[in-house]
């Protein structure tokens, strides 16, 4: 296939690398052109604009930071070049934003499938992302050969909005589980309890989630570098979940404290670090009391 990929951040660059490894002809674009160079070294072509990237593509894949950015790039910059193009929108945005984007793409003569993923750079490179799709049945069928190179089992959840709703529901669990584990870990340590006996009890209980062990060493060592999913993205996705929950008439006030906590990550210098760096925020006064 001839594919254009817009957005070569952590996830986008990994997806692009995977597609090149599968033998596709790939054109890439990023608002920071230097971020395309590693992909050019692997055989991708680099476009000077989103419209030029889309011009000859069978599929146009977007992996951009948020809804407004995706709208700006696809509708304002690609614009009329969307006619006859099939868009695969992977970036996490709100369900309502996704529907608005689909309507705008259709108005310009293109077709639109939302396809957010669970997983990050390692899974993308291996083609093991958990991919959920929302959009027309016939477009899903057309996309399957491509989707199966990114995910072993792509799941079609329904019309546009269904996949983004599911993605936000899953990312809310990432935020809540990480927050809950961080607080518990701090408390047992402050109480003088050794970490391993606590973890042994947790692992053998119904309370255990694998993400606890996945993040344990980072939290114990305080090393949050080389993220696959940064704190700023977790904050953005939790805010999107709360907005969607409010629109659905749900009571999400229990998440307000966590959302407020994550608002402090920028000033704390945690935005570009791994999302479990929120462990520094839950430390509260104990962080200041920790000796150098």
pLDDT at residue 118 tops 70:
yes
pLDDT at residue 288 tops 90:
no
Confidence tier at 287 by pLDDT (50, 70, 90): low
Supply the pTM of this predicted model.
0.94
pLDDT at residue 291 tops 80:
no
**Least confident piece of the model among 229-233, 272-276, 281-285:** 281-285
DSSP per-residue letters across 165-196: HHHHHHHHHHHHHHHHHHHHHHHHHHTT--HH
Confidence tier at 284 by pLDDT (50, 70, 90): confident
Which pLDDT belongs to residue 274? 97
What distances in angstroms separate CA 246 from CA 123, 240, 256, one per listed residue?
32, 10, 12
**Mean pLDDT score, 115-125:** 96
List the chain domain ranges.
2-159, 164-289
Sign, Cα dihedral of 186, 192, 193, 196: positive
CB atoms within 10 A of CB 80: 9
Backbone angles phi, psi at 6, to 5 degrees: -110, 115
pLDDT digits (tens, 9 = 90+) for 60-77: 999 999 999 999 999 999
pLDDT at residue 292 tops 50:
no
Instruction: Please give the Cα distance from 86 to 189 (Å, whole number).
Output: 52
Instruction: Please give the Cα distance from 45 to 218 (Å, whole number).
Output: 37
pLDDT at residue 197 tops 90:
yes
3-class SS of residue 28: strand
The alpha-helical segments, DSSP class H, found in the chain are 10-21, 37-41, 50-54, 67-71, 95-107, 121-126, 137-147, 162-190, 195-203, 210-221, 231-247, 256-263, 278-282, 285-289
Average confidence score pLDDT of the chain: 96
**Mean pLDDT score, 133-155:** 98
Which pLDDT belongs to residue 286? 59
**Exposed / middle / buried, residue 117 (Cβ in 10 Å: 0-12, 13-18, 19+):** buried
Of the chain, the percentage scoring pLDDT greater than 90 comes to 96
pLDDT at residue 285 tops 90:
no
Which pLDDT belongs to residue 56? 86
pLDDT at residue 174 tops 50:
yes
**Mean pLDDT score, 84-104:** 97
256: which residues sit within 8 A by CB, 6+ positions away? 242
CB 113 within 8 A of CB 133: yes
Nearest Cα to Cα of residue 69 among 117, 108, 101: 101
DSSP code of residue 80: G
Say which CATH topology domain 164-289 has: 1.10.1040
**Mean pLDDT score, 28-42:** 97
2-159 CATH, one of 1.20.120.420, 3.90.550.10, 2.40.128.720, 3.40.50.720:
3.40.50.720
Nearest Cα to Cα of residue 246 among 233, 229, 259, 265: 259
213: which residues sit within 8 A by CB, 6+ positions away? 199, 203
């Amino acid at each position: 296939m001839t594919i254009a990929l817009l957005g070569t951040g952590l996830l986008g660059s990994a997806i692009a690398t995977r597609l090149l490894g599968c033998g596709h002809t790939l054109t890439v674009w990023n608002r920071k052109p230097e971020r395309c160079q590693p992909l050019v070294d692997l055989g991708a072509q680099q476009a000077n604009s989103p419209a030029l990237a889309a011009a000859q593509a069978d599929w146009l894949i977007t992996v951009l930071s948020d809804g407004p950015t995706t709208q700006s790039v696809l509708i304002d910059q690609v614009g009329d070049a969307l006619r006859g193009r099939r868009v695969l929108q992977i970036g996490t945005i709100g369900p309502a934003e996704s529907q608005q984007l689909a309507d705008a793409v259709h108005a310009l003569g293109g077709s639109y499938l939302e396809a957010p993923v669970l997983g990050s750079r390692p899974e993308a490179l291996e083609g093991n992302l958990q991919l959920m799709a929302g959009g027309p049945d016939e477009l899903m069928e057309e996309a399957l050969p491509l989707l199966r190179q990114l995910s072993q089992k792509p799941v079609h959840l329904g019309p546009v909005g269904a996949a983004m709703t599911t993605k936000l529901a899953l990312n809310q669990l990432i935020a809540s589980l990480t927050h809950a584990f961080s607080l518990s870990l701090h408390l047992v340590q402050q109480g003088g309890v050794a970490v391993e006996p606590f973890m042994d009890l947790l692992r053998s209980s119904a309370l255990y989630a694998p993400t606890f062990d996945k993040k344990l060493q980072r939290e114990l060592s305080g090393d949050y570098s080389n993220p696959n999913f940064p704190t700023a993205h977790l904050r953005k996705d939790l805010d999107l979940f709360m907005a969607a929950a409010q629109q659905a008439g749900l009571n999400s006030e229990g998440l307000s404290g966590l959302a407020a906590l994550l608002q402090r990550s920028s000033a704390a210098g945690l935005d570009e670090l791994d999302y479990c760096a929120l462990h520094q925020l839950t430390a509260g006064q104990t962080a200041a009391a920790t000796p150098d």
